[in-house]
């Protein structure tokens, strides 16, 4: 019985050490080593290898990231459980990034950067946090953690999810019928949705038109959720004031793309949050223990929903 780590050697070494301590009965392989595919019960990977079917005894397929949109479930046998990454390191980094992004957009940092380049020393009108509603598309693990960190700033906070939810201090909306009401009250929109058939292209001209004039976008979900042309139009018309994008389509954003030099856009290269090996290894070990005890892993993907 063995675990296969199909990713970078540096994080693999951290996993190997943790597994040796905590699960000494389980053989551990890095993808650079020769393996007997029949031994592999657990596979951790970003992309599913084309020849995954050779792991005929596979039980759990772990994504090394929080997202699982890179998995094509049709290539993975139905009995294999898919597990997304739920771990403290990725959560903490996303908390930092969302706080950074919201404050950057709230305190007009893009406009001040533009002024700096032109040598302009001039205060711009400000809004109080209490007057600026932050609206989260998605109210899952990462959005809820980010909301916890934002609460001390006293922004009103709302969120929109697929199913009905109650979260203290958050005005909750759910389902397509409530999307419009959610958007109409949102001044800074944070996208933390998984990429699925339903969320692909969700950040489009119609959605932007439902946001109040002067709204801002912080996009940390997945590139294909955003219609980039519609964003540029909404920014150029002045309806949206600014956007901060950690994800684009494609990635990397091609040389010369309009978004690179747009004065109302900040781009980071998909670095909002990255799986941290020490904490992630503990989370995967805990999930293997749960699975062995006949319990579902934390982060089990619902194949019908796609996340």
Ligand X SMILES: NC(=O)C1=CN([C@@H]2O[C@H](COP(=O)(O)OP(=O)(O)OC[C@H]3O[C@@H](n4cnc5c(N)ncnc54)[C@H](OP(=O)(O)O)[C@@H]3O)[C@@H](O)[C@H]2O)C=CC1
Ligand Y SMILES: O=C(O)C(=O)CO
Catalytic annotation on 262? no
Interface of this chain with ligand Y, residues 271 to 290, rule: CB under 6 A = 273-275
Tell which residue, 195, 212, 209, has the closest CA to residue 135: 212
Tokens representing residue 293 in the block? 């005890």
The tally of CA atoms less than 13 A away on the side-chain side of residue 91 is: 17
74 CB burial (10 A radius; 0-12, 13-18, 19+): exposed
**Other Cβ atoms closer than 10 A to 307:** 20
235 binds ligand X (CB under 6 A): no
241 binds ligand X (CB under 6 A): no
Active-site choice (133, 222, 262, 291):
222
Per CB under 6 A, the list member of 270, 278, 290, 303 interacting with ligand Y is 270
Min CB(220)–ligand Y separation in Å = 8
Interface of this chain with ligand X, residues 12 to 71, rule: CB under 6 A = 65-67
CA 117 to chain CA centroid, Å, is: 32
Q: Phi-psi category of 268—alpha, beta or left, where left has phi over 0 and alpha has psi -120 to 50? A: beta
Interface of this chain with ligand X, residues 273 to 302, rule: CB under 6 A = 273
Sequence-distant (≥ 6) Cβ neighbours of residue 152 within 8 angstroms: none
Which of the choices ligand X, ligand Y, none does residue 142 contact, using the CB cut-off of 5 to 8 A by kind?
A: ligand X
Give 116's DSSP letter: H
Min CB(280)–ligand X separation in Å = 12
Torsion sign across C-alpha atoms 277, 280, 284, 285: positive
d(CA 41, CA 14): 20
Catalytic annotation on 222? yes
Select the residue whose beta carbon is closest to ligand Y and give its number.
65
In the shown chain, the binding pattern of residues 130 to 159 toward ligand X, with x for contact by CB under 6 A and - for none, equals --------xxxxxx----------------
Interface of this chain with ligand X, residues 155 to 214, rule: CB under 6 A = 160-163, 165, 192-196, 198-199
Chain contacts with ligand X (rule: CB under 6 A)? 65-67, 90, 138-143, 160-163, 165, 192-196, 198-199, 220-222, 246-247, 270, 272-273, 307
Active site residue ranges: 222, 270
Chain contacts with ligand Y (rule: CB under 6 A)? 65-67, 85, 90, 270, 273-275
């Amino acid at each position: 019985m063995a675990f296969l780590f199909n990713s970078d050697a540096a994080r693999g070494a951290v996993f190997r050490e943790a597994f040796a301590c905590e699960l000494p009965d389980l053989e551990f392989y890095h993808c650079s080593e020769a393996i007997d595919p029949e031994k592999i019960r657990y596979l951790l990977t970003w992309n599913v290898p084309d020849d995954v079917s050779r792991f005929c005894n596979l039980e759990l397929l772990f994504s090394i990231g929080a997202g699982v949109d890179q998995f094509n479930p049709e290539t993975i046998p139905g009995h294999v459980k898919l597990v997304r990454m739920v771990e403290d390191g990725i959560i903490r980094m996303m908390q930092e990034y969302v706080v950074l992004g919201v404050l950057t957009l709230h305190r007009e940092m893009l406009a001040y950067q533009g002024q700096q380049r032109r040598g302009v020393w001039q205060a711009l009108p400000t809004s109080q946090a209490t007057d600026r509603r932050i609206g989260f598309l998605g109210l899952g693990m990462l959005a809820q953690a980010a909301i916890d960190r934002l609460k001390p700033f006293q922004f009103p906070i709302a969120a929109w999810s697929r199913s009905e939810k109650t979260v203290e201090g958050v005005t909750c909306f759910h389902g397509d019928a409530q999307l419009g009401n959610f958007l109409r009250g949102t001044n800074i929109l944070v996208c933390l949705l998984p990429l699925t058939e339903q969320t692909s292209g969700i950040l489009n001209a119609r959605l932007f038109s439902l946001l109040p004039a002067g709204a801002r976008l912080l996009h940390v979900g997945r590139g294909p959720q955003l219609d980039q042309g519609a964003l540029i139009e909404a920014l150029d018309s002045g309806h949206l004031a600014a956007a901060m994008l950690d994800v684009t389509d494609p990635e990397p954003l091609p040389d010369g793309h309009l978004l690179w030099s747009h004065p109302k856009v900040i781009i980071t290269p998909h670095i909002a949050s990255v799986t941290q090996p020490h904490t992630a290894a503990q989370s995967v070990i805990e999930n293997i223990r749960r699975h062995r005890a006949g319990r579902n892993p934390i982060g089990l993907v619902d194949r019908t929903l796609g996340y």
